[in-house]
Structure 1
Amino acid sequence: MSRAFCIPGIFFLTAALVLSFLTSISLPYLTAIDIARTHFGNGVIETGQQGMVELRFGVWAPCYYDQEEQRTCAKAGHGYKIGISNEDKTANVLIGSSWTRGLAIHPVATGVTFLAFAMSFSQHVTVTLVASLTSFLAAFITLIAFAVDIALFAYLKHQVNKLPKIEAKTSPGAGFWMTLASFILLLLAGCTICFGRRKQRMSGATSYPTLSSEKKPLWARFRKN
């Protein structure tokens, strides 16, 4: 692949891989990286076990924050659920496991991104083609993961707003925006590698030696200059 396209493609894939990997770890292991969060600005909300003023959703678990900013995370697992009620316990909503189970697609996107990253170092024309296609596949899977994030965020906001007498603000977390950035980087990487492969093929087609003069007949070889 042309060097001018090789280095940017590897850079895009490296950045996408790091962002996707960190998002895949998420809560409860990386507490700063969540998919969606809700802050309750006018009082403590009950979750059934303790009071909280903020709730964050990660890939593997939710985390609660009380008035003293003490964090408590639920046990990590795939497809968790959580119930939320107001302080008077006159109303409650449920964020079911069907809205969090799809978050497990983030590690899948990370794995495919790693495959594209590993193949991007090759200079072989066929391998670079596979690397480009794998980058686009990783971008598609990441887009699905981002759609799952949007669905969770929208549903969380809708459910929390149903609780009476509270002022709740729901916003996307860091993992939400990191997934979007990873998707864009994967598209750029796929296009860059594809252009580099095309340039390599074009340069290879014009690198064959050409005859600088016409072939002389046999008797012309014995003619004196």
Structure 2
Amino acid sequence: MARIFCIPGIIFLLCALVLGVLVSISLPFLPALDFVRVNFDGGDGVVTSGAGLTELRFGIWAPCFYDTNGDRTCFGAGHAYSISISNTAKTADVIVGSSWTRGLAVHPVATAVTFIAFVMSFSTHHLVTLLASLTAFLAAALTLIAFAIDIALYAFVHHEVSKLPNVSGRTTTSAAFWMTFVTLILLLLAGCTVCFGRRKDRMSGAAAYPMSSYSKPGFLARFRKN
């Protein structure tokens, strides 16, 4: 593949792969890489354990919360978790069910496909580079689905927390949310770059074998003297 397109495509895929791996690890292993975060002013929210909350974070494998003492607690690792939030008086509660967190597991799947595209992007074979481009676009499609799930989770948590009476909760998107968006852009750029590189490589190969300029002599040329 033409080097001018090959190197940027590999770099885009490498950056997307690194971001995807970090996002896939997520909570509880990397505390800063959550998707949705709820900040409670004054610790006036509680969870199922009964501890007062100042912050609640949603990751792929577990939710984590910070209590009024500044201590962090995470539930057991595993996707498709559910969590209940209620006000201090326990007069109302909301539940973020497993149906809203199960889809977060699409992130590791997209990362695995990105890794496959990254490996194939090193090949100079025309068929493999075409598959690398298609695989990059497949990873981008999966990342888009994962990003849509992140948006849905944010919207649902924001809506549910706002229904709690006497609770001052502020729902925001967090680092993993925006890292997923950047990964999506990088994968789209990588897919286009690899595709254009393959096309330019084929055009260069065709130009290296020009058609013969031989033309058949006319009828009168047979009677001309040498």
Mapped partners of 1:28, 1:142: distance in 2:
21
Mapped partners of 1:165, 1:205: distance in 2:
72
State the match for 2:170 in structure 1. Answer: 169
| Partner secondary structure for residue 27 of structure 2 | coil
Maintained 8 Å contact 1:56/1:64: yes
Note the C-alpha offset of 1:208: 1.4
| Partner secondary structure for residue 140 of structure 1 | helix
For structure 1, the 5+ residue unaligned runs are 217-222
State the match for 1:182 in structure 2. Answer: 183
Give the aligned length.
218
For structure 2, the 5+ residue unaligned runs are 218-225
Maintained 8 Å contact 1:42/1:166: no
Mapped partners of 2:97, 2:211: distance in 1:
70
1:1-225 equivalences in 2 (<5 Å): 1-49=1-49, 50-208=51-209
| Partner secondary structure for residue 42 of structure 1 | helix
Mapped partners of 1:27, 1:90: distance in 2:
30
Task: String of CA shifts for 1:74-104, please: whole Å, max 9, x gaps.
Answer: 0001200000000111110000000001111
Q: TM-score if structure 2 supplies the norm length?
A: 0.92
For 1:64, the aligned partner's letter is: F
Mapped partners of 1:92, 1:119: distance in 2:
50
Note the C-alpha offset of 1:46: 1.4
Task: String of CA shifts for 1:56-90, please: whole Å, max 9, x gaps.
Answer: 00000000101232110000012000000001111
Seq. identity, %: 62
Q: Which runs of 4+ in 1 moved over 6 A?
A: 212-216
Maintained 8 Å contact 1:27/1:57: yes
For 1:91, the aligned partner's letter is: A
| Partner secondary structure for residue 94 of structure 2 | strand
For 1:101, the aligned partner's letter is: R
